[in-house]
């Protein structure tokens, strides 16, 4: 993956991926997502593996449809759900909560927001992706 604060990629699923090399970029703040999603649909994810925090959100035409977040500081089984998440959330949550039962040295619930977004866009930050020719990602620059 190229070293850059901003990367982009056309995904095989038809989605366009924007990758930020920081944990909480301004583009993922609600006021930015409201503007960016005007007239379109987007999924936004944030991943901070050092603190084991993850989020996923779905925005359509300037409005947030749902938001799912996990912060391990709130407990390993903590999961905040706002709005009307898709039915895909429940089997993902059930699987990860079952894995978490009695386990304190691994945070399985961290994966819930990420797996949920992946079901729609087909990409996950730590998943396997084919970039054999080094051209999957395009280095982007702010305007």
**pTM for the whole structure:** 0.89
Cβ(1)–Cβ(21) under 8 Å?
no
pLDDT one digit per residue (tens) for the chain, 143 residues: 678 888 999 999 999 999 888 777 888 899 999 999 999 999 999 999 989 999 999 999 999 999 999 999 999 999 999 999 999 999 999 999 999 999 999 999 999 999 999 999 999 988 876 655 557 888 888 77
User: DSSP states of 64-115 as a string?
Assistant: EEEEEEEEGGG-TT--EEEE---TTHHHHHHHHHHHHTT--SS-STTHHHHH
Which one, of 70, 63, 61, 75, lies nearest residue 115 by Cα? 70
The C-alpha atoms of residue 110 and residue 100 are separated, in whole angstroms, by 10
């Amino acid at each position: 993956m190229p070293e850059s604060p901003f990367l982009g990629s056309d995904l095989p699923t038809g989605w366009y991926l924007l990758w930020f090399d920081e944990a909480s970029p301004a583009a993922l703040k609600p006021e930015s997502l409201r503007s960016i999603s005007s007239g379109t649909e987007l999924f936004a994810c944030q991943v901070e593996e050092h603190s084991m925090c993850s989020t996923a959100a779905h925005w359509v035409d300037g409005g947030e449809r749902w938001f799912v977040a996990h912060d391990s500081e709130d407990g390993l089984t903590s999961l905040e759900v706002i709005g009307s998440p898709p039915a895909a959330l429940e089997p993902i949550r059930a699987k990860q909560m079952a894995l978490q039962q009695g386990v304190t040295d691994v945070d399985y619930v961290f994966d819930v927001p990420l797996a949920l977004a992946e079901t729609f866009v087909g990409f996950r930050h730590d998943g396997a992706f084919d970039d054999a020719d080094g051209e999957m990602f395009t280095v982007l620059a702010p305007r």
